Every structure is written in structure tokens, then in C-alpha cells.
Chain A
Amino acid sequence: MKHQGTIEGLLILAAAAILLLCGCESDTQVNFIPNNYREWPKTTDTKLQFPIPGHEDNLRKIYINPQGLEYQTTKAGDTTEAGTNRYFFPEGTVIVKEIYQGFNPGPKAAPAQLTVMVKKPEHPQAQGGWLWIVAPSAEGQENIVENEFCLTCHSNANEQHPYADGNPQEEFRDYVFYLPETD
């Protein structure tokens, strides 16, 4: 009986360890920034070397994964809603914005911070259909931004704004200021 009890105890410990490992593995899988994101196309050729609220006097470089280039456009009149064009990025779109220290960080300088948009409409922490993520680097810990700070500014992308073409028609651009150019 004692021997049997020992085996049962070991089985319970093993099950607990497996569950723990599965739980840890599940956490580490939340990794949206690949190391090779710089191989992705940039959303704009414009050198983002001017001050903006949120990132202020720091250089930005923005990359989008190939999947994001497949964004859909609904032309005015195509929908029952009268109005302007509407743009929708597909689920799985990842947009990585590098934030450098100052406007002239030097050719070999690494970004001070990455801010990332990941299209995940079903995610419980998604805001406007996007997960808003902050990370120190591609290898660093990714943290989902839970407040609405990012969303508040990026909501302006769907209205007239001072960047790119300024969105004069107030098109819905899915919270992205610089729509990537497609062929």
C-alpha cells in the first residue's frame, strides 16, 4: 500500500510538472516580433525625422510583414454605408515601429524601443482590432499595452491628420497613418 501511494504521489507530481511546463510554454509563445522583421518592407519611404506626439523628437522606422500588404479596400458606394473608402488589414498583420534615441542616432545605433501593432480582432486585449505592444527589442519581453494611449493617437489616422497625405477624405484606415504602398 505504501509503495502504491508513492507511485500515485509521483504521478501527481509529474502531472503538475507537465501542466506547469505547458503553462510556461503557452506564455513564451506570445511572441509577435520575429528577429528578421527588418527584412520586411517599410510602410513609407518618408524619413520619419520630425516630432510627433507619443514619440516626440525621436527617429522612427516602420516595417510591415508581407501579410499586411494584403489589406482590403472597400470603395465608397460598395457598402450600404454612404461615405468614404475603408481599409482593413488582414488578421495576422504585424507592423513594427522602431523608435530611436533622437533624430540622428548614427548608422549602427539600435532602436531604443519597439512599438508594435498586431491585428488580432478576437484577442481579449485587442483595441480597435489590434494588439498594441511595447518591447525593448526584438529579443526583449513584449508587453501588451492595456491602456488606451496608443489607440487614442492612432484613432486620428481615421480622420484628417498632419501626416502623409493627411487623410483629407477622412477614410477609415484601420488606425494606420502611413498606408503601405502596394503594386
Chain B
Amino acid sequence: MSTQRKGSVTRKVNLIILISLFLGLGGVVFYFAFSLSTTIQRNTREGLNEQSEIIYTAIENFMLPGEAPLAVQYFTEVQRRSPLSSIFLFRSDGTQAFTDTDTIESVNEMIAGFQFQAPDRDETFAALTRSDEMFAAATKLPPETGTFQTIDEEKTFFHIYKPLINKPKCTRCHGADHTIRGVLEIKTDISRSVQQREETILISSGIFLGVLLLLSALLTRFMKYTIITPVRDIGDVCRAVTGGNFSHKVNIHSRDEIGELGSTVNTMVDGLYERYALSKFVSNSTIQSLQREGEGESITLTLLFSDIRGFTSYSEAHTPEEVVSRLNEMLNMQSRIIGLHNGDVDKFVGDEVVAIFTGPEGPLSACRSALEIQAELKQNTEHYDKLQVGIGIHTGEVIMGMIGSEERADYTVIGDNVNTASRLCSSARGQEILLSLNTGKSVRLHADMEGPYKLRVKGKQNYVGVYKLKKIVPGGKA
């Protein structure tokens, strides 16, 4: 689950970076490429339109003195000098002018000076024709100059249809019965311009992709080092703490908000560790009392006292290190078992364990704990150097509260019932578990017991009734 969540955040951050860069950079690059492409296209068209105006004016000036052949020579010269351009002259009916021998000969009769070179009558001349909509628009009234593009053999051509108007001054030669003399077509190869536009778009796209990838990588790394990795570190520390490992700390690399968060988490882990460490030395009830900050209270609970038999002689026969080690091992074992049955070690007094069990299940839980402690010692008697414990269990009302001075206090239990439990423990022999009558009655439906016996204990005038606990019957006694 956690891995999936981490990957998801990384993906989201990367996606946001990529989308932001794509939209931001893409917009700028698209605008740049579009503007450049449009400018190239506009400049090309304006240049060609200007060229058509110049040619038109030249034709007009050649024609007025009756030098039409010079105009045709001019076409030829322009084409020779500009191999990318072709110039055609069409009549208003769409047929190419100056191509049929009869017309050329009749025109030659009308003009002075230069004469048209008429083609041989036997020569086949492939005259062009135009009948498209643009041509029609250029020959209607009022005529319109038209431009369009064509693609032929992978080359792009730009065409201009420029109507030749039969001006009043032209009517002397051409007559006044028509308005449009013909249409001048200038066809220019603009493949280079188109290629330049395509290259502009390609280069812009390449730069865009390169910058996009570079910035994506840089920003992703930046985000990884500044946010994602620190957040993952914090998550790892939290998981370690959940598993009881307080040694993990967040590595603080910055003093920003993430750094402050990591520092706060480290402080929190330190606090948790202190509390955890404190719980080894202070009972749960003490810790709870610190939270409650309450006064003393009277409460009914079950007390378990356990004491190691013959420990004094054991201490004399072993080194202090062995004594402390063995004692801690035994206390640790008993604490663990008591904890497993929801008991709370109130205190250790030398080799003695004082534990309390609360609630209606307290007596039975205390009995189960006592039986498991004895079973553990019996099964591993060699391991525990044949040490044995005697256990006393009693259920009754006690006073629970903060007992001690202002400098040093314990939240513990006191009262006659505490003494009774202690006395039962003192009376129990090794491997023996003595229950008071109260406790015995509480567990009688679940436990095999011997007794009751009368027992005289220290500090009590009367006999005390006790049971010897043998075992707990699974599922209860029938």
C-alpha cells in the first residue's frame, strides 16, 4: 500500500511538471513558430504581389507605345533571370495569348517597331488554358486579383492572377467593347520558402522537446530532492516508530517547511522514545495517572505477588553480575506473561513482582499469568538455575493513588488487601500459587483448586482461607 502511494505521488508531481511545462513552453514555442511561419508566408506573398505589380506596370508601359513584342521579351527576360518564376498571359476566355500564328500575324500588322516571332505553322504548340474559379473571378466585373497555391512534383507553387484591364487609353488599339484584356499569371516556385517554414516548425518543435525534457528532468530532480525524498524519509521514520524502532531519524537537508516538518517529526520521535523508555521503569498505572492527574481512589482489583524462593542464598553463591542477570531475566519473563494477560506490573521490590489486574476478568487473568509463570520455570528449570517462585493472588478493594514525596512518588496501591496478597505470597512455597477466598470464588467455575485451607499469616488475628491453584480448565468446568 505504502509503495503504491509513494509511486502515485511521484507520478502526480511528474505529471504536473510535464503538463505545466508542456502548456507553458508549448504555448510560447507554438506562438513563436506560428508567428515566424506566418511572417515568412506573408513576406513571400507580399514580395510576389509586389513583383506582379512591377511586371504589370512594365507590360502597360510596353503596350502603350505599341511595343507588345517587347513585353513578351520582358517576360522571357524575367523568367531567365528568375528561374523560379514563370509568367503567362491569358485572354479573358482562358486561352494563352500570343500562341496561335494567325493572331500573332494580325497583331504584327497593327504594331510598329518590334514584331512578334510567329511560330512555324507546322509546329505544334501546347497552349495553356485556364478555367478555374480564380480565373473566372479575375475576368468578371469588377475583376479581382487572386492568389493560390499548387503542388506539382513535390514542389509548391504560388500563383497570382492579375487582371489586365482595358483602360480607356488602351482602347485605341484594343477597342472599347470589353473591360478585361486578359489575365497575367505569375507562377513562382516557393518550395524553398515552404521548406524554410517547415524547418522553422521542426527546429522549434525540436527545441521545445529538448527544453521540455531538460526542464522536466531538472524540475523532477529538484522536486525529488526538496519534497518527495524528505516526505518519504518522514514516512520511513513513522513506519519504523510504528514497528518499535526509535533509532531512525529524518535527515534534515533544508530549513524550509519540509525541513521544519522533519525536525518536528524527529522531536516527536524523541518524545515517543522517552515515553517508551519510561514505561520500562514506571507502571502503566503511573503513566495513566500522569495523564489523569487525579486524586487517590478506591478500586476493586486483583493483586498478584510473586517472590523468588531461596534468592538470598542464590545471591551469596553467585557473582553480582550473574545475580542481576538472572533476576532481570526472571522479572522480565514474569512481566511479559503478566502483560500478555492484560496485567500491569505495579512495581518490583527486590526479587518480588507486584502486579495488578483490573476488571471482572482480573482474577482469572491473574490466575492464568501465575500458572504460565510456574510452567515456564518448571519447563526451563535448568535455565533458571532451578530457581522457583511462590505466588499469592488476592482480590479486594484497595486505594490507588500517587504515593510519595513531591520529588519522588509512585502511583500505586495500598491497603489491607494489598497486605493480604503479600502475605499469601510469603506463605506460598516454591511452584505454589495461593488464592484468597475472594479470588478462588471468582475463578471456581474455571479453575481446579485444592482447599480451602486455613492459613495463619503474619499480621492477621484470624486464619485466612486459601486455595491452592492447580490449573485452569479450558472452556470452564461443567
Contacts and interface: CB of A to CB of B under 8 A. Distances in A.
Interface of A: 50-54, 56-57, 145, 147, 149-150, 152-153, 155-156, 159-163, 177
Given A52-B168, A156-B167, 7 more contacts: A52-B171, A53-B176, A53-B179, A54-B141, A56-B178, A147-B144, A150-B142
B143 interface: yes
Interface in B152-187: 165-172, 175-179
Contacts of B168: 52-53, 153, 156, 161-163, 177
A177 B167 CA distance: 13
Contacts of B141: 54, 149
B143 A149 contact: yes
A145 B143 CA distance: 11
A177 B143 CA distance: 21
Most chain A Cβ neighbours within 10 Å, of B141, B145, B167: B167
Interface residues of B, number: 18
A52 B177 CA distance: 6
A152 B166 CA distance: 10
Contacts of B166: 53
A161 B175 CA distance: 13
Interface of B: 141-145, 165-172, 175-179
Contact of B177 (A51, A145, A160, A177): A51
Contacts, number: 52
A122 B171 CA distance: 33
Nearest to A163: B168
B167 A50 contact: no
Contact of A162 (B142, B144, B176, B178): B176
A153 B171 contact: no
B60 to A, nearest CB: 10
B59 to A, nearest CB: 14
A56 B169 contact: no
B167 A56 contact: no
8 contacts: A149-B165, A153-B167, A156-B168, A156-B169, A161-B168, A162-B169, A162-B171, A162-B172
Nearest to B179: A53
B49 to A, nearest CB: 13
Contact of A56 (B142, B165, B177): B177
Given A156-B168, A159-B169, A162-B168, A149 B177 contact: no
Smallest CB-CB A-B distances: 8 pairs: A149-B142, A53-B166, A53-B179, A156-B168, A161-B168, A51-B176, A51-B177, A156-B169
B178 A53 contact: yes
Contacts of A51: 175-177
A145 B177 CA distance: 23
Interface centre among A53, A57, A152, A159 (most CB of B within 10 A): A53
Contact of B176 (A50, A149, A177): A50
A155 B179 CA distance: 15
Contacts of B172: 162
Contacts of B171: 52-53, 162
A54 B169 contact: no
Nearest to A146: B142
A54 B384 CA distance: 129
A147 B146 CA distance: 12
B178 A152 contact: no
Nearest to A150: B142
Contacts of B170: 53
A150 B179 CA distance: 11
